């Protein structure tokens, strides 16, 4: 059976720990200039139905650093589900490339693609999940704080794709995610998280304060109403002061200063947002090596 990386529901605690160990090793060797051509001669398709900076660049650079060949395809070029079915794109593309990463509006698109693909499919963000982001996030926390088990990670903001994937990472790695948002924006109740409506209370004793945009890609029409609903949820210095003195501020980026985070917090010494962004590269290289690397 073809293995995919669509959500963190697909992997075990042992597997995520192995990916983290591999990512740390790949990162250290890359910094030393050691050649690591695990993808020699392999091609990886990268399909983007939505804009991207980090995901696209880190996948293109990551595949290249591993000796492979990335092919980026904009959603508007292939028009999956319109010009031809998702199933037909998947069955065609998997005759050419060795793996495909997809950023899509609907998680269903990526799931359907994977069902028809004979090569591994990686989720590069959907409306429901962003597993590559969560893997880079936990790599960053591990580097900064040492261990993940037992930590309190306070997510202040929309119960979205990034939030869901962080919660799933927590359930695999033994940290608690405390979500703080207006009631109507909570992640599904079946997910394992704590809910605290008041962000100042939620931040108490947190090891990490995490936020993301209030309006995700594809929700632009709701922007005004979301700005109103989330007005009390900006991560400010007051909120940060309620957490542990060693607290990290995290954000998957892109950020909107003055909305989900203040300029002061974003630029503060606690902020590790660009380390997170860098770790997208190392974490995704580990996923690629794990799925299609020559051992
Ligand atoms: N964090 C993240 O996925 O960034 P991009 O949307 O720029 O890829
Ligand atoms: N929740 C955001 C994340 C962007 C990386 C979105 O889906 O637009």
Burial degree of 17 (CB within 10 A; 0-12, 13-18, 19+): middle
DSSP annotation of 119: S
Domain that holds residue 247: 132-274
| Judgement on whether residues 254 and 137 belong to the same structural domain of the protein | yes
pLDDT tens digits, one per residue of 205-222: 999 999 999 999 999 999
- On whether both 282 and 264 belong to a single domain, the answer is no
**CA 254 / ligand 1 centre spacing (Å):** 7
Q: Which of 164, 252, 282, 284 is the catalytic position? A: 252
**How far is the centre of ligand 2, averaged over its atoms, from the C-alpha of 213 (Å)?**
7
CATH number at residue 163: 3.40.50.1370
Give the tokens for residue 231: 């007005």
Statement: the pTM of the whole predicted model exceeds 0.75: yes
How many domains, the chain? 2
Q: What is the DSSP letter of 187?
A: P
- Cβ < 6 A, ligand 2 pocket: 125, 160-162, 212-213, 216-217, 252
**Tens-digit pLDDT profile for residues 120-178:** 999 999 999 999 999 999 999 999 999 999 999 999 999 999 999 999 999 999 999 99
Q: Where are the alpha helices (DSSP H) in 174-250?
A: 199-202, 223-229, 237-241
- For residue 2, being part of any structural domain is answered with no
What is the chain's Cα-based Rg? 19
Burial of 96-122, coded b for 16+ CB within 10 Å and e otherwise, reads ebbbbbbbbbebebbbbbbebbebbbb
Residue 25 appears among annotated catalytic residues: no
In a domain, 3, yes or no: no
In this structure, the answer to whether residues 12 and 93 fall within a common structural domain is yes
The pair phi, psi for residue 67, each rounded to 5°, is 85, 5
174 and 197 assigned to the same domain:
yes
Q: Whose CA is nearest to atom 3 of ligand 1?
A: 55
CA of 37 relative to ligand 2 center, distance in Å: 31
**CA-CA-CA-CA torsion sign (217, 75, 129, 265):** negative
């Amino acid at each position: 059976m073809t293995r995919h990386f669509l959500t963190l529901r697909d992997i075990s605690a042992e597997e995520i720990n192995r990916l983290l160990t591999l990512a740390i090793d790949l990162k250290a060797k890359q910094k030393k200039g050691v050649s690591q051509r695990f993808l020699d001669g392999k091609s990886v398709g990268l399909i983007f139905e939505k804009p991207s900076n980090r995901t696209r660049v880190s996948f293109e650079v990551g595949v290249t650093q591993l000796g492979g060949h990335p092919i980026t395809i904009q959603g508007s070029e292939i028009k999956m589900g319109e010009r031809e079915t998702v199933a037909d794109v998947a069955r065609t593309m998997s005759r050419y490339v060795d793996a495909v990463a997809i950023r899509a509006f609907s998680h269903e698109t990526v799931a359907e693609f994977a069902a028809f693909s004979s090569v591994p499919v990686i989720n590069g963000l959907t409306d429901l999940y962003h597993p590559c982001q969560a893997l880079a996030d936990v790599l960053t926390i591990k580097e900064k704080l040492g261990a993940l088990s037992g930590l309190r990670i306070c997510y202040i903001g929309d119960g979205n794709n990034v939030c869901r994937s962080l919660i799933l990472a927590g359930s695999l790695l033994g940290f608690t995610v405390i979500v703080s948002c207006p009631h109507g924006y909570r992640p599904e109740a079946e997910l394992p998280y704590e809910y605290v409506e008041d962000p100042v209370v939620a931040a108490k004793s947190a090891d990490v304060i995490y936020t993301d945009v209030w309006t995700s890609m594809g929700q632009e029409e709701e922007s005004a109403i979301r700005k109103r609903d989330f007005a009390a949820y900006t991560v400010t210095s007051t909120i940060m002061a309620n957490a542990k003195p060693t607290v990290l501020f995290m954000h998957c980026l892109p950020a909107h200063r003055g909305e989900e985070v203040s300029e002061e917090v974003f630029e503060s010494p606690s902020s590790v947002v660009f380390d997170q962004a860098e770790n997208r590269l190392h974490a995704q290289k580990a996923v690629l090596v794990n799925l299609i690397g020559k051992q």
